[in-house]
Structure 1
Amino acid sequence: MNLKFISTFLCFVLLHSSKTFGDHFTNQSDLETYVVHLEFHDQLFSNSKDVLLWHQSFLPTNLNHSSRILYSYRHVFNGFAAMLSSDEVREMEKKPGFLSARPQRIFQMHTTHSPSFLGLHQNVGLWNASNSGKCEFNVTNCNKKLIGARNFVQPGMLPIDENGHGTQTSSIAAGNFVDGANFYGNANGTAVGIAPRAHVAMYKVCGVLWCAEWMILDGFDAAIEDGVDVIVIPMGFGHPPFYDDAIAISTYSAMAKGIFVSGSAGNHGPGSGTVMNEAPWILTVGDSTTDRKISAVAVLGNGAEYEGESAFQPTNFSQKLLPLVNGKACESLNTSNVKGKIVLCDTSGDLSRNVKGGRVKNAGGAGMILMNEKYRGSTTFSEYDVVPTTQVSYKDGQEIINYVKSTSTPVGTISFKGTRMGDKHAPTVAYFSARGPFIPSQGILKPDIIGPAVNILAAWPTPIAGQMFDLLYGTSLSCPHLAGVAALLKNAHPNWSPAAIKSAIMTTADIVNLGNDPIQDETLEPADLLTIGSGHVNPSRANDPGLVYDIQPEDYIPYLCGLNYTDDQVSLIVNKKVHCTTSIPQSELNYPSFSIPTESSAQTYTRTVTNVGEASSAYTVEVYGLKGVEVTVQPKILKFTALNQKASYNVTVKSLDLTGHSQGYIIWSSDRHSVRSPIKVFPHISVI
């Protein structure tokens, strides 16, 4: 069975035009793009023309309807995007069937070794098991790999990627084998995506740094109609309620059609409550490192050595110890103090790494040691620097500063070691990886998983100095890794639902690093569940999870009703008329993880698992961690006699401390499988 194609959203660049869509339609200064939601309509329209005519009926009769409606949605929700004035919107509000209209939001983009780091190898395991969209390119650009490419930013123009974001993400998710891939000679080897035999359909919905909401919705609508299997959404916007979140609404419609959605957690870590793409039907992916470094070692006069990173690896840099000088933020450097010296610069201020390096170079400095601020911790990047450089961790930077202060003649140099494998701390969570909880729905543990997102070799669309690849970082890179894994699993298990695939990924994740210690965050301390979710993805284990926690689209409705949404708000999300006659607590959703508020009395939650392992099997439960919390699981043994057989169990939680946080794991084990669910118990917070 061949994989169907992956749809990557965020793909390309706004072409060189200063005009907006509004310029094409009217000169009225008060027009802006509105996203209009309508009540679910029981009438089935036979084609898109009928839908458009119905949507046009909501506009004032004196308007040129064809010039005002930008897009009429058929799949993601019932409604349209249009250029309107506030007065016209108020007039439209009076019409039966109208739900809401608001100005569109602007979304931000979250921007070769990783397959082998994840245990994927050619002709083995998942790769051995894996054997239509519309194309707006000419026939020579679309092929058996790129089977669809559409431009929603400027319809009628070629969907060219001049930004790089779409090329990067799609090459990670489904790139084919390319021998000799490297970045200025570093990370040399065979580059390949996670699902190299998958097909790709691209939907250009973003400008250079932003993504207009109505264009994102256009792309989702088209992808659903095209019948994609997996969608990548490496972008996000704030934390609106689900009924006011274009991505949450669109991805629900995709999930209901059997499409798996992998979304980035966002780059706003390490602060608490920064996670994006929080809907429980999305796999929310955080960021981690791999065991590969492009090594550049700071060597001090006292013999101490501190390993950092840089993709600029000069072969002729002198190993003679040079004077060290602290330039702090390196915003202003004096040539007389810097010339011929190695300059210490920290990452504070508004200047980028390359600009700081340029300041050092222009002042005659011989090199730069870039030292992390405290919040960046141990996360370092391999960039192609303009001056010999190493970026070191916050801890190492502090030790270097202490050395400089300890002597009147501090000296040092940089030793460039090239590509190095085997970092036992990997995977480590990157400082920028967004953290939970999602305050409006803390009963769902987010993020769900972490995956590679630091110094990833990915394809680049416009070669610079002959470089076809670049070393990149950001959650925009972790979610296509997981999308590729999902595509492999969907190919291997075509009958699994998106929730079953998600469960398989989560319950088989790794919670220890290559050194067999608990996965660490950027401080090199054990990472908590709001940082790593279920852990780091392990594709091979996900292919054989034993048990899965399945969720059908209609199962989310009682959960949404339990969030105290109105009937209309829930109907808007699920794209059909709903009456909230039944609701459940958030923690009761049949999710592969547990996130439970403390209560004064014991609380019981039910989970149902489906046997996808051995027909005849028995699983025994164990509970780990959870200090200050009594946890009882009944029954303690689950027995199965057939594949796809279901069994339920109850988890009763009694908190001994109503103000404390506690975390641990519930693990069901058989002779061959271990099915692990993280469980977090947190102080109850009332959200008004």
Structure 2
Amino acid sequence: MRALRRLSTALLAGGLAASLTVAGAVGAATSSSAAPLAEVGDPTAATGGAVYLVTVQKGAQDRVLASLDVDPLYRYTHTIAGFSARLEPADVKALRARADVVRVERSTRQRLQSGSTTDFLELAGDTGAWQSLGGPERAGAGVVIGSVDSGLWPRTPAFAPLTDVDARPAGFTGACRTGVAGSNFCTTKVVAADWFVEAFGPDAIASNEELSPRDTVGHGTHSASVAAGGAGVDARLNGRPFGQVSGIAPAARLAVYKACWAAPDPDQDGCETADLVAAVDRAVGDGVDVLDVPVSSTPAAPFDTLSAALRHAERQGVFVATAAGNAGPGPGTVQQPAPWVTTAAASTHTLRQGAVVLGDGTRLVGAMVARTPVESTRLVAARTAAARGSSTHDAALCHRGSLDPAAVKDAIVVCQRGVIARVEKSAAVRDAGAAGMVLTNPYPQELPTDVHSVPSVHLDTAAARELQRYLDRESAATAALDPAATDSTPVPQVLAASGRGPADVDGDLLKPDVTAPGSGVLAAASPLNGDGQQWAMRTGTSVSSAHVAGLAALLRSARPGWSPAQVKSALMTTAYDVEGPSSPLTQGAGHVDLARALDPGLTFDVSARAFARYAAGRLPARRLNLPSVAVDDLLDTALIRRRLTNVSGRTESYSVNAPDLPGVQVTARPASFTLAPGETQTVRIRLTRTANATPGVVTTGQLTWVGQTDHVVRVPVAVRPAVAASPAVVRAPLTAGRVTVPVLLGASAVPVQVAGLVGAFPTPFSLVEADGDRDTLGDGDTVEMPLAVPAGTRWLRVAVETNNPRDDVDLTLLRGDDVVAEASGLDARETLTLRAPRPGDYRLVVHGARAGNTSTVTGRVYTWTLSDRDAGNLTPATRTVTGTSGDRTRLGLTWPQLDGTQRWLGVVGLGEGVETMVELS
């Protein structure tokens, strides 16, 4: 796995950037035998123009724009130096050839990651953390939270104007551009608003959208309400009172930057990166203190333009909260891997539960919001109650109009989850005259806390199976719904759908950073989203991101001298473990705890220069002074340095407690130290692989410094021992018949596995000069090819090469309109490699960025899809490499005579997770 990450550090394995939804949790990503490249259409056909983000050297923006015959959509001046514009392929090629252009990146569409948690977080009450900040009326005072989201619905009591404050916070310069939303959008609570739609396209938005900062989706309103909604606001949903709800930082101000839009096709909803960067750039220029940006990351993160904008925001003192994504529970599904942002996982908090009480007395506990019981009555499986003209399938899913009223009147109906919205199922049950609903999960998923049209209990898979067994054996099944029932499930627990580490882009980065409430959180909503409600319950990591943004606002208000990195450090080093099985790969440092974060004792800080060096590839992640330790592929020993600063205001002594990790010995020196206020201590953390290490398996724990007072400073540790190290790729002539792979051993015996070899025929292409200008390729310099990825694919590899070494070609792989991967070097050869890509239809775009002969680029494309199958045509000299740990050796590989008109690809695995691609031509 690590070897393949070296092949293309800009890729997310499996292309998960577009697999997330607005409303919360989704199922686990589908995992993906060799197949030929799909038939190619006209090889000289060009694709149309697209929106690109162009990053330039300082001071070069006007000069670069003057070279183009285009009007920029946005100019970026506060974070990155650059602009975005709709460019034709010839423009892109010309820009990429300029010395004063740093990066040209196609704008892609990202997705939003979608009781009162203030009590659960122990903020409210006489002993809550708000009291130490002056009460809820002062919690977050003086801080502006920027919401980069789907906008905001301002006419809700959650955003009531603040009293006894200046109309504009000191140092904040943002304006209120409201459009059709009206002049009363901004108040002393909402102090700035704007919208950014040029890249998405004003003509591409849904009919119920509007060109204003007003929220029609509801996502932005909910997030803003969680982060900074007012304190003690009465909430009502579907006409029912739900008690009082408070935002995390009720005295903080809000600045709204709408960059996420609904489209006529919900699958096209999202946020264009060019619009997102414009929103971040404006927010930083306006002077926000905290940014909440709960969107998925691009395939190139953390080395893309959006990540660069967020890094420059951090450099200018802005704390950035973002979401871990909802593509769990698989490993490597975490979003937003940049070390300068705080990536939040989602966890449960106060449970809303109830039970289905079967006629035999069995009680099946699940999620239930309604407080109204349903007395014992008939229990009817919806699939057995199809209305005339409706299919059994539609009835089982409880589509509107699919249920026979005569069969379900006054009964409790069992509906299966899937296909349509969960709340639509209960509406169908209500319309048919039933008394209640049981919603069942057909496969493992979360249990969201929805507000249904009839009293409803949502059961997990195990309980659903038990319910079905009862229905199968009882001809006259009955049940009741009990809203008072609970199974005393401990909280918090990380949601199954919450994105997990390791960060595939860099195994030496530990993500997520923390976890926060993200399940069934009640907050304000927009009545424009279709249901007319001003309150909603949402689940997903965007909700936890909003919590982290609010907590950061409280810390920034209380500790204005801290850097964003120190705020992140305080949240991480004071976090606690969630309930149930977990690890730093799921919870990060743990669950946030504001009371302790306000006084963390020690903090870790990271300079803007260090982040910049990491982004430029000049500093490895393990050398960043992060409040976490992650080491990928530990063969022998790794030495990590960290600097801790005393922020307590008093002299204090600390001693270290090293974790007892299976297979890895951890030591920290000095073992104890004393620091005066403001002093910093450098510690050396040594990680040594031991004989009982399990290669390829991440081992985790916590490294802790205990102060002489109540301070406990702990950082998560994740280490993956490796059995060997080998090159990412070895190449050899097909006629040679053999090649050797250099191997560095980390164990005395390393098993060898083989996948492939698989052949690929060349697909020729010709990119021709089309506009009469011999210095450019014109509109014919792009070719698009369909590409099919079958189920069971473990590796997808695409290679392009041209006939002139002075050419420059680029590759872009798209699934629908989503960019999955890109390769845009300055060479005549480019490759893309994805591990476990999602099966389906893709589009491969080959772009001629420069013609070495100034007129034509000709070449060929090869595509391989490999499964785990050993094709029997690549033979290792041994099936076990032996020696002593630390030895350097070689593994010989041989193959028979193969078809010379094809190129061949295989993969050699060494132990668990160490892979080398073998390319023969």
Q: 1:258, CA displacement in angstroms?
A: 0.8
- AA paired with 2:444? Y
- Taking the aligned partners of 1:153 and 1:448, their CA distance within structure 2 comes to 31
Q: Secondary structure at the match of 2:527?
A: strand
What's 2:63 paired with? 54
Pick from 624, 631, 643 the counterpart of residue 659 of structure 2: 624
Q: Secondary structure at the match of 1:619?
A: strand
Q: 1:552, CA displacement in angstroms?
A: 1.0
Q: 1:169, CA displacement in angstroms?
A: 1.1
Whether the 8 Å CA contact 1:247–1:277 is kept in 2: the answer is: no
Q: 1:252, CA displacement in angstroms?
A: 0.3
Matches within 5 A, 1:611-650: 611-640=646-675, 642-650=676-684
Q: Secondary structure at the match of 1:135?
A: coil
What's 1:4 paired with? none
Pick from 270, 275, 293 the counterpart of residue 215 of structure 1: 275
What's 1:523 paired with? none
Residues 203-232 of structure 1: per-residue CA shift (max 9 Å, x gap): 111111211111111111111111110000
Higher mean alpha-carbon deviation, 317-326 vs 385-394, is at: 317-326
What's 1:16 paired with? none
What's 2:158 paired with? none
Pick from 409, 412, 435 the counterpart of residue 342 of structure 1: 412
- Taking the aligned partners of 1:386 and 1:551, their CA distance within structure 2 comes to 51
Q: 1:408, CA displacement in angstroms?
A: 4.3
Matches within 5 A, 1:389-468: 389-417=456-484, 425-462=490-527, 467-468=533-534
> How high is the TM-score relative to the length of structure 1?
0.82
Pick from 665, 670, 679 the counterpart of residue 717 of structure 2: 679
- AA paired with 1:506? M
Where does structure 1 lack aligned partners over 5 or more consecutive residues?
Answer: 1-11, 13-27, 44-50, 513-518, 521-525, 566-579
Pick from 381, 384, 400 the counterpart of residue 448 of structure 2: 381
- Taking the aligned partners of 2:710 and 2:376, their CA distance within structure 1 comes to 57
Q: Secondary structure at the match of 1:653?
A: strand
Matches within 5 A, 1:140-155: 140-153=184-197
Matches within 5 A, 1:395-544: 395-417=462-484, 425-462=490-527, 467-512=533-578, 519-520=579-580, 526-544=581-599
Q: Secondary structure at the match of 2:494?
A: coil
Residues 176-227 of structure 1: per-residue CA shift (max 9 Å, x gap): 1243223236672222211111111111111112111111111111111111
Q: 1:547, CA displacement in angstroms?
A: 0.6
Whether the 8 Å CA contact 1:75–1:221 is kept in 2: the answer is: yes
- AA paired with 1:601? D
- Taking the aligned partners of 1:176 and 1:258, their CA distance within structure 2 comes to 25
Higher mean alpha-carbon deviation, 612-621 vs 597-606, is at: 597-606
CA separation of 1:112/1:360 partners in 2, compared to 1, >3 Å: closer, same or farther? closer
Residues 73-115 of structure 1: per-residue CA shift (max 9 Å, x gap): 1122222111121123223344441333243101111125111
What's 2:844 paired with? none
Q: 1:617, CA displacement in angstroms?
A: 0.9
CA separation of 1:493/1:468 partners in 2, compared to 1, >3 Å: closer, same or farther? same
Whether the 8 Å CA contact 1:275–1:437 is kept in 2: the answer is: yes
Q: 1:606, CA displacement in angstroms?
A: 1.1
Q: 1:627, CA displacement in angstroms?
A: 1.6
- AA paired with 2:440? M
Q: 1:430, CA displacement in angstroms?
A: 1.6
What's 2:336 paired with? 277
More helix by share: 1
Pick from 701, 704, 718 the counterpart of residue 664 of structure 1: 701
The alignment status of 1:331 with 2:394, answered yes or no, reads yes
Whether the 8 Å CA contact 2:377–2:412 is kept in 1: the answer is: no
What's 1:569 paired with? none
CA separation of 1:402/1:146 partners in 2, compared to 1, >3 Å: closer, same or farther? same
Q: 1:124, CA displacement in angstroms?
A: 0.9
Whether the 8 Å CA contact 1:291–1:425 is kept in 2: the answer is: no
CA separation of 1:461/1:659 partners in 2, compared to 1, >3 Å: closer, same or farther? closer
Whether the 8 Å CA contact 2:235–2:245 is kept in 1: the answer is: yes
The alignment status of 1:261 with 2:338, answered yes or no, reads no
Residues 607-627 of structure 1: per-residue CA shift (max 9 Å, x gap): 110011252211111123412
- AA paired with 1:86? P
Q: Secondary structure at the match of 1:651?
A: strand
What's 2:365 paired with? 307
Whether the 8 Å CA contact 1:186–1:311 is kept in 2: the answer is: no
The alignment status of 1:357 with 2:364, answered yes or no, reads no
Q: Secondary structure at the match of 1:536?
A: coil
- AA paired with 2:447? T
Pick from 606, 630, 636 the counterpart of residue 601 of structure 1: 636
- Taking the aligned partners of 2:522 and 2:611, their CA distance within structure 1 comes to 38
CA separation of 1:597/1:90 partners in 2, compared to 1, >3 Å: closer, same or farther? closer
- Taking the aligned partners of 1:589 and 1:382, their CA distance within structure 2 comes to 40
Where does structure 2 lack aligned partners over 5 or more consecutive residues?
Answer: 1-21, 23-45, 142-171, 203-209, 263-268, 385-391, 397-402, 723-912, 917-921
CA separation of 1:365/1:413 partners in 2, compared to 1, >3 Å: closer, same or farther? same
Residues 578-629 of structure 1: per-residue CA shift (max 9 Å, x gap): xx4xx34x22321111112243322221111001125221111112341222
Q: Secondary structure at the match of 2:118?
A: helix
Q: 1:127, CA displacement in angstroms?
A: 5.3
Could you tell me the percent identity over the aligned residues?
A: 30
- Taking the aligned partners of 1:592 and 1:87, their CA distance within structure 2 comes to 45
Q: 1:452, CA displacement in angstroms?
A: 0.9
Residues 50-78 of structure 1: per-residue CA shift (max 9 Å, x gap): x763342231xxx3x4xx31111112222
Whether the 8 Å CA contact 2:584–2:718 is kept in 1: the answer is: yes
Q: 1:630, CA displacement in angstroms?
A: 1.3
Pick from 74, 79, 90 the counterpart of residue 76 of structure 1: 79
Whether the 8 Å CA contact 1:504–1:542 is kept in 2: the answer is: yes
- Taking the aligned partners of 1:112 and 1:139, their CA distance within structure 2 comes to 33
- Taking the aligned partners of 1:501 and 1:107, their CA distance within structure 2 comes to 27
Q: Secondary structure at the match of 1:124?
A: helix
Residues 7-63 of structure 1: per-residue CA shift (max 9 Å, x gap): xxxxx9xxxxxxxxxxxxxxx99232121222x23x4xxxxxxx763342231xxx3
What's 2:48 paired with? 30
Matches within 5 A, 1:125-144: 125-126=132-133, 128=135, 130=139, 131=141, 132=172, 133-137=174-178, 139-144=183-188
Q: Secondary structure at the match of 1:319?
A: strand
- Taking the aligned partners of 2:238 and 2:667, their CA distance within structure 1 comes to 56
Q: Secondary structure at the match of 1:624?
A: coil
- Taking the aligned partners of 2:77 and 2:915, their CA distance within structure 1 comes to 34
- Taking the aligned partners of 1:644 and 1:254, their CA distance within structure 2 comes to 25
Pick from 74, 88, 93 the counterpart of residue 90 of structure 1: 93
What's 2:14 paired with? none
Matches within 5 A, 1:529-568: 529-561=584-616, 565=617
In angstroms, what is the RMSD of aligned CA positions?
2.8
CA separation of 1:400/1:647 partners in 2, compared to 1, >3 Å: closer, same or farther? same
What's 1:322 paired with? 378
Whether the 8 Å CA contact 2:337–2:505 is kept in 1: the answer is: no
Q: Secondary structure at the match of 1:273?
A: coil
Higher mean alpha-carbon deviation, 94-103 vs 271-280, is at: 94-103
Pick from 439, 452, 459 the counterpart of residue 370 of structure 1: 439
Residues 112-171 of structure 1: per-residue CA shift (max 9 Å, x gap): 511111111265124536443111135532111111001222799532222212211111
- Taking the aligned partners of 2:685 and 2:313, their CA distance within structure 1 comes to 31
Q: Secondary structure at the match of 2:549?
A: helix
> How high is the TM-score relative to the length of structure 2?
0.62
Whether the 8 Å CA contact 1:312–1:383 is kept in 2: the answer is: no
- Taking the aligned partners of 1:134 and 1:686, their CA distance within structure 2 comes to 53
Higher mean alpha-carbon deviation, 656-665 vs 354-363, is at: 354-363
Whether the 8 Å CA contact 1:126–1:543 is kept in 2: the answer is: no
- Taking the aligned partners of 2:120 and 2:650, their CA distance within structure 1 comes to 32
- AA paired with 1:648? T
- Taking the aligned partners of 2:424 and 2:74, their CA distance within structure 1 comes to 42
